[in-house]
């Protein structure tokens, strides 16, 4: 199974289902903080991750920060999800020109442990973004990316480049690359079983009886 097919099949599942599968498999600390939310409720994305980390610098120039930011946009590989740890809770790390550029490059979405701006425009072009807050403040003369494709941490979750992310209205789960196919197959199986439980209850089965029969709820 290639990476695109795997991501597309994961996207037909739900973050809650994948969470339950990974919990039952013994994984810990793979769900991003609930403060990171989609700007549009019906967005759902899954793909491999392109990791970015950055920092604030008091001596950064206008040109230096924009050169570094556009370099990030240039480096981002198509079909990936960018996940950014800005180490900053003040500025926006996504805006209208950047969102449109990434969309044109076929980036599947952007997740940031920080802020976003130009919300009206980004909603109009329907580019998927998960963030913590909105602000007009931007990166210019203040922030730049410093590391790409290295392990980053958001909350208590370590995120490796090329791991998978599944993001929807419930939140974001990080799926380790080496276990992705096994997790996918178990998630698809759980979706099917939950559909049987739903059907049984609609046909009159007691919910506790349904749980005892199918061992899920």
Residues 148 and 160: their CA atoms lie apart, in Å, by 11
CA nearest neighbour of 167 among 47, 8, 85: 47
In this predicted structure, the answer to whether residue 215 has a pLDDT above a threshold of 80 is: no
Is the domain of 147 the same as that of 195? no
Are residues 88 and 129 both part of a single domain?
yes
**Beta strand ranges found along the chain (DSSP E):** 37-38, 45-56, 81-85, 109-112, 115-116, 129-131, 133-134, 143-148, 152-154, 157-159, 164-168, 171-175
Contact 6, 164 (CB under 8 A): yes
**Is the predicted pLDDT of residue 165 greater than 80, yes or no?**
yes
Residues 129, 210, single domain; the answer is: no
Alpha-carbon Rg of the chain, whole angstroms?
Answer: 19
The CATH number of the domain holding residue 142 is 3.50.30.40
The rounded distance, in Å, linking the Cα atoms of 205 and 34 is 34
Residue 217 has pLDDT above 90, yes or no: no
Domain co-membership, 68 together with 168: yes
Q: What pLDDT does residue 44 have?
A: 98
Res. 211 pLDDT band, cuts 50 70 90: confident
The model's pTM? 0.94
Same domain, 22 and 77: yes
Domain count, the chain: 2
Average pLDDT, the chain: 95
Average pLDDT over residues 5-30: 97
pLDDT of 199: 81
pLDDT in tens, 170-187: 999 999 999 999 999 999
191 lies in the same domain as 165: no
Q: pLDDT (tens digit, 9 = 90+) per residue, 61-88? A: 999 999 999 999 999 999 999 999 999 9
Domain encompassing residue 26 = 3-178
154 & 204 share domain: no
Co-location of 68 and 51 in the same domain: yes
What mean pLDDT do residues 188-209 have?
83
Same domain, 99 and 164: yes
What is the SS3 assignment for 75?
Answer: helix
Q: How far is CA 131 from CA 101, 135, 187, 192, in A?
A: 18, 11, 26, 31
72 and 166 in a single domain? The answer is yes
């Amino acid at each position: 199974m290639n990476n695109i097919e795997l991501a597309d099949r994961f996207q037909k599942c739900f973050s809650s289902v994948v969470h339950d599968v990974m919990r039952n498999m013994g994984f810990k600390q793979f769900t991003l903080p609930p403060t990171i939310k989609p700007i549009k409720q019906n967005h759902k994305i899954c793909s491999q991750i392109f990791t970015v980390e950055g920092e604030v610098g008091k001596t950064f120039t206008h040109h230096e920060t924009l050169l570094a930011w556009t370099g990030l946009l240039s480096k981002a590989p198509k079909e990936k999800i960018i996940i950014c740890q800005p180490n900053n809770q003040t500025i926006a790390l996504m805006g209208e020109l950047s969102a449109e550029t990434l969309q044109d490059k076929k980036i599947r979405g952007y997740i940031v442990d920080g802020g976003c701006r130009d919300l009206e425009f980004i909603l109009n072009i329907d580019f998927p973004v998960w963030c913590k807050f909105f602000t007009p403040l931007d990166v210019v003369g203040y922030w730049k990316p410093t590391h790409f494709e290295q392990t980053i941490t958001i909350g208590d979750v370590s995120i490796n480049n090329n791991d998978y992310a599944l993001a929807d209205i419930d939140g974001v789960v990080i799926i380790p690359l080496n276990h992705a196919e096994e997790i996918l197959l178990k998630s698809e199986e759980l979706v099917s079983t939950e559909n049987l439980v739903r059907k049984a209850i609609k046909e009159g089965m007691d919910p506790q009886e349904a749980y005892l029969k199918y061992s899920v709820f």
